Structure 1
Amino acid sequence: MGKATGRWDFEWVYNEQPHTLRRKEILAKYPEIKSLMGHDPQLKWVVSGMVLTQLLACYMVHDLPWKWLFFWAYAFGGCINHSLTLAIHDISHNVAFGNKQARLNRWFAMFANLPIGLPYSASFKKYHIDHHRYLGGDGLDVDIPTDLEGWFFSTPLRKVVWLFLQPLFYALRPLVVNPKPLTQLEILNGVVQLVVDVLIYYLWGLKPIIYLIAGSLLCMGLHPISGHFIAEHYMFLKGHETYSYYGPLNSITFNVGYHMEHHDFPSIPGSRLPLVKKIAAEFYDPLPQHTSWARVLWDFVFDDSIGPYARIKRQYKLVKQE
């Protein structure tokens, strides 16, 4: 458990991200894919049902013993909360109400944020656009670990700790890599979240708050669903920086596993990404893909060639966005 990973730097490349070119090629051959773009009218109802389920769970867990509280937070509530973060990911592309209702999408993302327990949605939107526009961009894409993470979390045991602490790194890394001014939407997000948390505490006490926050942190850390964080962009094969997963966990994660398709067409809702793969199968079938998120986590920990440094990076000759 003490052997260090064989990587001591990121994989630096000097070409553009592959998604721009592939998008053009696919649209030239299959222009009908444009019809898949736009909002998903079912998304708001699915998300609302998940939020209401968690509010009901807050009532049901308020008198549970602590050991069962954490069990259900990890096994049930955290899975819903992780799924809600992926709904927020979808909503950040305006697919809940469409591009003409951008503000409504932001407010609905705050509603989806409520069971997570901590304000998240407005900040995610602010940085996620850079992840698509500047994929792998040094100092721009905050999805990429820092040099400190790559250097220190280089043994199997340390990589397990890194996986467990993933929510912490995702929250703090933007402040180090690419700090941006606080926005009014982020302040509103924080105020709304605080008001709802206080209301839940007033109605049912501390345990529901612990249930929500603990579930979010646990299921975005060392949990099978969290395998998607590693599966999406960590370089399991040299030269390949984005990977898709087509397994059953897509059914509870808004098809985030169709990640190659998502980066090619970010304005297409997750519910329609399987159609992209079906229409343009010859573009996606030959590409490397993952078959198990749990296996991804195992390989990440025990494969010496994979670690926080196993990411493709590039320099963008652009003015850094404020």
Structure 2
Amino acid sequence: MGAKCTRTEFEYSYTDEPHATRRKEILAKYPEVKELYGADYSMLFIVPFVVTFQIWMCWMLQDASWPITITLAYLIGGTINQSLTLAMHENSHNNVFNRNYLLGRLFGMFITLPIGVPASIAFKKYHSEHHQFMGDDVKDQDIPHPLEAKLFDRTFTKVIWLILNPFFYALRPCIAYPKPLTPWEVVSFVVQMTFNYVMLVHVGGAKGLFYLLGGSLLGMGVHPMAGHFISEHYIFFDNGQQTSSYYGPMNYLCWNVGYHNEHHDFPWISYRNLPKLKKLAPEYYDYLPHHTSWVKCLFDFVTKPDIGPYARIKTASSCGKLMDVNNEEHNQKAD
């Protein structure tokens, strides 16, 4: 079973939420940061190509052997679908169409077609609260449930937890913090199931559909791309920071989600402008410990006894304190 985790509970912070504080300071010192705001239409040229490629791969694998299908689902399908998941994340912040919510919802449904799961609408309504109430016991459903942390607290079980991460990530909010079903979620479900049916019956058969759905599951588990789940908010450094950035080559595949401190400070700055934000205000980011390898994050998460599902910081918001001191602007910009 391996070494047992030394952490037996979450850490708590009673200081002000760091991102709202840093955002306020940066805006006061560098008002020109507002020039980085605004819609970024580059996804409209990249995502359709990626979606088309995944449909083509689905068709190509209809007569392939299962070993080849599974291998390619992990190596290619998992990588691309995890990239599309992060494109969905970028779109959820209204960074593609700004405040045109209709186009944003439709584009989100298009992004998730190869992923095989109608995630975009539901993701947005939970993810916005991850930003506004980071560390909150209930509203931040990015934090593992206490039962998860208790059950998966050894080296071997942490590997199992990583493999099952897509299920925990999808089902945790529905169980621990259910929200009413919206009409847009119903539309998204119908669109996605229709696409899956077409892929299964008319395009790629069982193997082609497995390449898409299996790739999504594999890409969110023990996969280099999935290292971002662990690197972003788990405690790797001893300075008490709740968010950690990653500066490495996988940012090119992941829409710069590695610039995670920068992203939480300004969620409405598009992925292409996050490096510009870091360059504009280096004194706020260069001193922060950061990651350079997502693979190392996964390895350390599994092997180090002081890192595990309990290695997260909960905040005073868990006691009813609103974290975001600039919440009105956050709601207006990040929706």
**TM-score between the two structures when normalised by the length of structure 1:** 0.97
2:321, 2:185 → 1: CA distance? Answer: 26
2:55, 2:321 → 1: CA distance? Answer: 44
Q: Is the 8 A contact 2:15 2:316 kept in 1?
A: no
Match of 1:217? 217
Alignment-mate amino acid for residue 156 of structure 2: L
Match of 1:18? 18
Pairing of 1:98-137 with structure 2 (within 5 A)? 98-99=98-99, 101-137=100-136
Deviations 1:100-133 (A, max 9, x none): x112111100000000011111110010000000
Q: Is the 8 A contact 1:138 1:315 kept in 2?
A: no
Q: Is the 8 A contact 1:74 1:219 kept in 2?
A: yes
Match of 1:236? 236
Unaligned runs of 5+ in 1: none
Aligned-residue offset at 1:2: 2.5
Match of 2:333? none
Aligned-residue offset at 1:315: 3.9
Match of 2:325? none
SS in 2 for 1:115: coil
Match of 1:262? 263
Q: Is the 8 A contact 1:231 1:244 kept in 2?
A: yes
1:133, 1:197 → 2: CA distance? Answer: 34
1:195, 1:126 → 2: CA distance? Answer: 23
Q: Is 1:180 matched with 2:174?
A: no
2:22, 2:299 → 1: CA distance? Answer: 31
Alignment-mate amino acid for residue 268 of structure 2: S
2:3, 2:283 → 1: CA distance? Answer: 40
Q: Is 1:53 matched with 2:53?
A: yes
Unaligned runs of 5+ in 2: 323-335
2:47, 2:272 → 1: CA distance? Answer: 13
1:14, 1:281 → 2: CA distance? Answer: 26
Match of 1:93? 93
2:252, 2:77 → 1: CA distance? Answer: 16
Q: Is 1:299 matched with 2:300?
A: yes
Aligned-residue offset at 1:203: 1.1
Match of 2:159? 160
Alignment-mate amino acid for residue 307 of structure 1: G
2:45, 2:291 → 1: CA distance? Answer: 30
Pairing of 1:196-215 with structure 2 (within 5 A)? 196-204=195-203, 205-215=205-215
1:281, 1:195 → 2: CA distance? Answer: 47
1:50, 1:271 → 2: CA distance? Answer: 18
Alignment-mate amino acid for residue 136 of structure 1: G
Q: Which moved more, 1:85-94 or 1:179-188?
A: 179-188
SS in 1 for 2:126: helix
2:31, 2:176 → 1: CA distance? Answer: 38
Aligned-residue offset at 1:318: 6.3
2:105, 2:291 → 1: CA distance? Answer: 32
Pairing of 1:54-69 with structure 2 (within 5 A)? 54-69=54-69
Q: Is the 8 A contact 1:140 1:177 kept in 2?
A: no
Alignment-mate amino acid for residue 174 of structure 1: P
Q: Is the 8 A contact 1:3 1:155 kept in 2?
A: yes
1:184, 1:44 → 2: CA distance? Answer: 25
Number of matched pairs: 318
Deviations 1:174-202 (A, max 9, x none): 02221111111111111000011111122
1:70, 1:300 → 2: CA distance? Answer: 25
Match of 1:277? 278
Q: Is the 8 A contact 1:243 1:289 kept in 2?
A: yes
SS in 1 for 2:114: helix
